[in-house]
Amino acid sequence: MPTLMVQGTTSDAGKTTVVAALCRWLARQGVSVAPFKPQNMALNSAVTVDGGEIGRSTALQALACGLEPHSDMNPVLLKPQSDCGAQVILRGKVYGNMDALDYHAYKAEAMASVLTSWQALGERYDVIIAEGAGSPAEINLRANDIANMGFAEAADCPVLLVGDIDKGGVFAQLVGTLALISDSEQARTAGFIINRFRGDIALLEPGLDWLAEHTGKPVFGVLPYLHGLVIDSEDSVSAAGASEPGALKVVVPVLPRISNHNDFDPLRLHSGVDLVFVGPDEPIPPADLIILPGSKSTRHDLHWLTQQGWPEAIRKHLRYGGKLLGICGGFQMLGLRVEDPDGLEGEVGKTEGLALFEMVTRMVHGKQLRQVTGRLSPEVTESGVMATMTGYEMHNGVTEGPALARPFAELEGRPDGAVSADGQVAGTYVHGLFDEPAACDAILCWAGLNTQSARSVDYQSHRLQQLDRLADQVEQCLDTDRLRSLLQL
């Protein structure tokens, strides 16, 4: 079972894109390859073909391989609910909530699930490209490690170490990381990849020669900084792209526990949309459309919205004719209240909502995880045409109330979400609703954009183009003969 693991000197060294690039490069040559991330911590996740949940970045890598995402590809997913606690997803299903110390002790047991998933993938695919998490040199986390060298040692696989030169200090990153790991871990480190380089490679070559001589490890290559690369971000909310004059102003609050912010990537690429993310203590600008995003802790983020003055800003926005859309947790916030009798998202209790819909949400055991297809309701499309849509549901809440009598969409014969009687406010449980151009056009038209002058991007095609762009860099910039030898090809 040839397995190659890509680890990074820092959390944002570019491991995800390097793994995606390697997966796409191999898949284009007809190699049966699958991605694998033993442990991930992220609030951006995707629904798998087997009805589970994995990190969004691993789902992107599955796309690079030409595969549907599967829960075996990311057996441990941690979804933070506070600064010291997280929901633990084990092989796609909710295992429970743990604080940091309890999970640290549990990792030895979690390793069994990690190895079971890895072996299951090995039975179905010829090559596995694994991705580490954070840095292998985190001294305080090395005991019972399952995310980096702990897995590599158990799987007995080689490791490539990635450093980000764009941040500076890349030689210190690489040499320092190597110095802080054990002798056996140093031995399985096959070499280095330097990522995000700008400039003339000739100026870097003396450093590369020194690195190889000093460590005895080869440099597999130097990947360039790719300008304009728009691809699924795992953690940070990425800045929006350029928009044309007179673009539709879309404003999104960056909630403390914002989840699945990749929902907005198609809007970032839309030239007719001026997308603005508003963080804590930032002024709330005028908008044509406000979108309340998903949340891992809806009641906590509702409290934050109130502290930041969003309810008053939303009421003013609606008085002046603006539109408001809530997605998943953002949809739940639009109701009368959110109840959590079992403390599934934090403390037991209830929180008053924005009271824009006559409905109540109750958090219940048994997370809804499913991929969906359907059509937008005529209330959302000025033409009355029911535009097709795709996406996925991922939530604990069950919402009930008269507001649901005017649904936002019809999903495989059942209603979803709500639209206000005046058509100004809408909400849905569906993530990824902007990915389908027809649905994106219809929603933006509802919000006030003339979509005849600016059409939505086919986001799936865009993602594949970006993945091919990454694979091209592997062919042009990395030592592919050495890579093939490492993978036993």
Task: Catalogue the active-site residues.
Answer: 328, 431
Q: Are 433 and 427 in contact (CB under 8 A)?
A: no
Determine the Cα–Cα distance for residues 23 and 471; give it in Å rounded to an integer. Answer: 8
Integer Cα distance of 253 and 283 in angstroms: 11
- Closest by CA to 217, choosing from 180, 164, 183, 178, is 178
Q: Is the dihedral of CA 467, 471, 476, 477 positive or negative?
A: positive
Q: From CA 74, how far away is CA 35, in angstroms rounded?
A: 9
Of how many residues is the chain composed? Answer: 489
Query: Cβ distance 44 to 57 under 8 Å?
Result: yes
Instruction: Judge whether 427 and 325 are in contact, CB under 8 Å.
Output: yes
CA dist 480 and 11 (Å) reads 25
What whole-number distance in Å separates Cα of residue 89 and Cα of residue 296?
13
Q: How far apart are CA 328 and CA 375, in angstroms?
A: 17
Question: Which backbone phi and psi does 156 adopt, to 5 degrees?
Answer: 55, 55
